[in-house]
Amino acid sequence: MLPVSNVFQPLDAPAFVVTLGQAGAVFCGAHGERPNAQAVIAALLESEKVAKQQRLVYPLEALLGNWRLCFTTLSKVNGQSSPTAKGIYVPKIAQAQISFTQPAEIEPNSSNGEIGNQIQVGSIVFRVAGSFHYPGKKNLLMFDFNQAQFSILGKTLYSGKFRSGTQAIAIEQRSISKLPFFAFFLVTENFIAARGRGGGLALWVRSPQLKNH
């Protein structure tokens, strides 16, 4: 078991960052008691509020890497804490990870890249991949999945197009009204948080390299 480090929980951090850091650290195996769901939701909402007030802008470089889903709300959450809002820590038996990468062939300083989303339950793995566009405005990352892979016990049963496949129009030229997106409001070295298109909130912790199955 790992101690809660000051990387997750900086000594001079606001209370909401401390709460989210504690949630992420304990989720990763640190000693301590994890905050309850209502405390995490309240911290996420406060973080989102501060990001809007301070007009925080996060560079794409800070998002690149692999992230494991730690906590998510079960439905849309309004802009203020509500005792009826529901959220859960992702069970250890179900590992959900997301990745943002920029392959070498992408031009320097590009706002485009590749996104992968993988869910693993025991020996069953489902992964989708596609492209993203992160213009930086309001920390919105638009994405679209066009490839999927399904495997059991390390054997690939399907690998091919997802939905209708790659669209002819480049993602940066498509309307955000027709694409899923994440609006990030907190990005640190070890955890990130965002609101999705459907209004739900999520917290991810940095994860090791994703394994391809």
Q: Which of 8-17, 161-170, 189-198 has the least mean pLDDT?
A: 161-170
Res 107: pLDDT? 80
Tell whether 6 is covered by a domain.
no
Q: Does 6 have pLDDT greater than 50?
A: no
Tell whether 210 is covered by a domain.
no
Domain count, the chain: 1
Tell whether 198 is covered by a domain.
yes
Res 168: pLDDT? 62
CB distance 168 to 175 below 8 Å: no
Q: Provide the 8-state DSSP code for 7.
A: T
pLDDT > 70: percent of the chain: 87
User: Residue 142: pLDDT band by 50, 70, 90 thresholds?
Assistant: very high
What pairs with residue 121 in β-bridges?
A: 94, 124
Tell whether 7 is covered by a domain.
no
What range does the domain containing 186 cover? Answer: 15-205
Res 4: pLDDT? 42
Residue-wise pLDDT for 149-192, tens only, equals 999 999 999 999 887 545 667 888 787 888 999 999 999 999 99
Tell whether 172 is covered by a domain.
yes
- Mean pLDDT on 7-28: 83
Tell whether 116 is covered by a domain.
yes
Supply the CATH number for residue 65's domain: 2.40.128
Tell whether 4 is covered by a domain.
no
User: Residue 80: pLDDT band by 50, 70, 90 thresholds?
Assistant: low
Q: Are strands 87-89 and 94-101 parallel, antiparallel or unpaired?
A: unpaired
Q: Does 213 have pLDDT greater than 60?
A: no
Q: Does 7 have pLDDT greater than 80?
A: no
Q: DSSP of 21-60, one letter per residue?
A: HHHHHHHTTBSSPPPPHHHHHHHHHHHHHHHHHHT----G
pTM: 0.88
Res 194: pLDDT? 98
Tell whether 3 is covered by a domain.
no
Inter-CA distances, 33 with 8, 25, 88, 96, 207, Å: 14, 10, 15, 22, 21
Residue 62: left (phi > 0), alpha (psi -120 to 50), or beta?
alpha
